[in-house]
Amino acid sequence: MNYQLSTLDFVVFLVYFVLILSYGYYIYKKRQTKEHDSKAFFLAEGSLTWWAIGASLIASNISAEQFIGMSGNGFFVGIAVSAYEWIAALGLIVIAVWFMPIYLKNKIYTMPQFLQVRYNETVSLIMAVFWLFLYVFVNLTSILYLGSIAINGLLPGQNHLHEIMVCLAIFAVFITLGGMKVIGYTDVIQVTVLIIGGLATTYMALSMVSEKFGMGGGILSGFTTLMQQAPDHFHMVMDKPTQSSSQEYIDKYMILPGIAMYAAGQWILNINYWGCNQYITQRALGANLPTARKGILFAAMLKLLMPVIVMLPGIAAYVLHKNGHLNHLVGGMDGAYSAVLAFLPSGFKGLSLAALTAAIVASLAGKSNSISTIFTLDIYKKYFATEASEEKLVKIGRWVVVCAMFISVIFTWDDILGIGGAGGFTFIQKYTGFISPGVLVVFVLGMFWKRTTGTAAVVGILAGFILSLFYNEFAPMVFGNETFYYTAYPNAQGVYKIPFLVAMGIAGIITAMLMVAITLLGPKINPKAFDIDKSMFKVDKTTLILIVSILMILSALYIKFW
């Protein structure tokens, strides 16, 4: 079998490449009269339609960490990793119904701006710096590294890692320099390619499983075979390890700790990501409320589909590898997706490579734009050039994009941060989780409790980070391995750790308690509180139908795979 790309694959990929750049240039030329308008550059001046918003949300979210990292977790753990996608659908409902009305009514364009308007400048500056470091050193680097590893596995010789990194970075920079409108509308093509190419990969993976096990090659028989060959990979909720549990099972539970992760950790992770994250919310902040809500719920619908595209190939790779049909697997669980791509016929490999590249480039571009927005509007304009012209702000924004991408290439070049060793998807979730508890509590209390003070917010952000770090790294040494509210388990080196989703939940709950206590010691009236009208949260019939449909599909999935 030929595992490398053919001429036809390169032609298919080249068509995708030309299509994206041509369409991006067309959109850029259409809005060139506003190219020096900072709102147009950073927020697309509210011109994105609901379907463009929804597609852009998914294109920016689904990247190498899903295709490679989540597929790898599917290989190692199974369908339980779908919780990240399916709880995200619930989180998006929360954002659409309750968060967006508050953002749009108060004309919030960046997350640091929200913190300044609701609390004070200190909170805003602390979080602006936090977000910049997180986006550059965790998100950009991991997306670039995992994407390069995946594409490198398909090229002749598999020794083009650094060249691929540079090409992906340059491609993303060109898209980003056109501004949010270019990103938003090119993302419509990106997500279309992503879904078609991703489904093609899943189709071929299931067909290959069916064929190898003598079932004829159908996708339904392939899926049935997966469930028969790997029944332990088809449970959403893992049982708590016992003393007789193997180290491998403990390692799986550490990644997805059963029912415990639903108590707080998954909610903190998802609602913070989708509702308090410049990278994501930026797509909807320039729209009106009905458009923003429909776009976000469209994204929620697509999230229900994502495990089929990014997780099932990993389980297929596990079953094939376990039975000796996938001997070319390289790089452990993060090599699962690339190994499955090798089975695709000529042309389809190119389509799947285009889907993977679309996901990588869209995420890099979206993240870079958010880095640029936060630095330019929340740091540069406020502290270095308060009188800067619109043209100057756009120029600075573009230079920030280039600098951020350059830094990410430097740190990715030799994997200085150890992304490969941690497992790509777990690396992102764990280190994002260090700030997620504090940020989410600060946002939620700031939105819905008028009395919450700026002092409590500062304490909440810092406490959330410190508590997350403490419970992730040191709590078992201080409090022991077993307490009434957590259990620590040994990793492969014999060091006891609390599952990071449980640690995140504990940090979030304690942070909320601290903020409430500090707020109660302060004034009873906070003049910076938002004015909330219950009518803001009413939804129209179309929105309600979408919400009910999502809830019904999600209920059916959990009933089936519990």
In the predicted model, is pLDDT for residue 425 greater than 70?
A: no
Residue 33 domain-assigned (yes or no)? no
pLDDT at 1: 45
Lowest mean pLDDT among 105-109, 423-427, 438-442, 494-498: 423-427
Is the residue at 87 inside a domain?
Answer: yes
pLDDT tens, residue by residue, 228-284: 999 999 999 999 998 889 999 999 999 899 999 998 889 998 999 899 987 778 778
Domain of 474, in residue numbers:
433-531
Round to whole Å and give the CA distance between 554 and 86.
7
Helix (H, G, I), strand (E, B) or coil at 439: helix
pLDDT at residue 329 in the model: 67
- With beta carbons less than 8 A apart as the criterion, state whether 305 and 88 touch: no
Asked whether residue 281 falls in the same domain as residue 296, the answer is yes
pLDDT exceeds 50 at position 506: yes
The arithmetic mean of pLDDT across residues 479-495, rounded, is 92
Identify whether the C-beta of residue 230 lies closer than 8 Å to the C-beta of residue 316.
no
The answer, yes or no, to whether residue 180 has pLDDT greater than 70, is no
Residue 3 or 265, more confident: 265
Question: pLDDT class for 498, splitting at 50, 70, 90?
Answer: very high
- 550, 297 contact by CB (below 8 A): yes
Reduced to 3 states (helix: H, G, I; strand: E, B; else coil), residue 48 is: coil
Per-residue model confidence as pLDDT tens digits over 392-404: 888 888 899 899 9
Q: What is the pLDDT of residue 182?
A: 66
Residue pLDDT, tens place only, 115-140: 999 999 988 998 889 889 888 988 88
Torsion of CA 462, 468, 474, 479, to 10 degrees: 100
Among 25-29, 314-318, 510-514, the least confident range: 25-29
Whether 259 and 352 map to the same domain: the answer is yes
| Whether 89 and 236 share a structural domain | yes
Residue 544 in domain: yes
Confirm whether 181 is domain-assigned.
Answer: yes
**CA-wise closest residue to 361 among 193, 111, 202, 199:** 193
Q: Is the pLDDT of residue 358 over 90?
A: no
Confidence of residue 298 (pLDDT cuts 50, 70, 90): very high
Q: How confident is the model at residue 46, as a pLDDT?
A: 57
Q: Specify whether 409 is located in the same domain as 484.
A: no
Q: pLDDT higher for 21 or 114?
A: 114
What band does 495 get if pLDDT is binned at 50, 70 and 90? Answer: very high
Residue 279 falls inside a structural domain: yes
Question: Which amino acid appears at position 13 of this protein?
Answer: F
- Report the CATH number at residue 225: 1.20.1730.10
Domain assignment present for 34: no
CA distance 281 to 54: 11
Kindly state the percentage of the chain with pLDDT values over 70: 89
**pLDDT for residue 94 is more than 90:** yes
- Domain shared by 407 and 509, yes or no: no
Name residue 75's amino acid: F
Average pLDDT of span 450-464: 94
As a whole number, mean pLDDT of residues 147-176 equals 79
Report pLDDT digits (tens) over 249-261: 999 999 899 999 9
Q: Reply yes or no on whether the pLDDT at 92 is more than 90.
A: yes
Same domain, 109 and 222: yes
- Mean pLDDT is lowest, of 204-208, 293-297, 498-502, for 204-208
Please state, for a pLDDT cut of 90, what percent of the chain lies above it: 41
Same domain, 469 and 356: no
What mean pLDDT is reported for the chain? 85
Task: Give the residue from 561, 115, 190 showing the smallest Cα distance to 378.
Answer: 115
One domain for residues 221 and 295? yes
223 shares its domain with 306:
yes
- Number of independent structural domains in the chain: 2
Structure tokens at 511: 């942070």
pLDDT of residue 32: 57
Helix (H, G, I), strand (E, B) or coil at 349: helix
* Nearest-10 Cα torsion for 412, 417, 419, 422: 170
The predicted model gives 175-202 an average pLDDT of: 74
Domain co-membership, 421 together with 344: yes
Structural domain includes residue 481: yes
**Residues facing 489 on adjacent strands:** 497
The CA R_g of the chain, rounded to the nearest whole Å, is 23
In a domain, 356, yes or no: yes
Residues 348 and 459 in one domain: no
Two structure tokens written together for 250 = 């403990």
405 lies in the same domain as 537: yes
Token pair, residue 162, equals 């650094």
Q: What is the mean pLDDT of residues 461-476?
A: 94
Low-confidence winner among 174-178, 291-295, 408-412, 542-546 (lowest mean pLDDT):
174-178
Residue with more model confidence, 386 or 282: 386
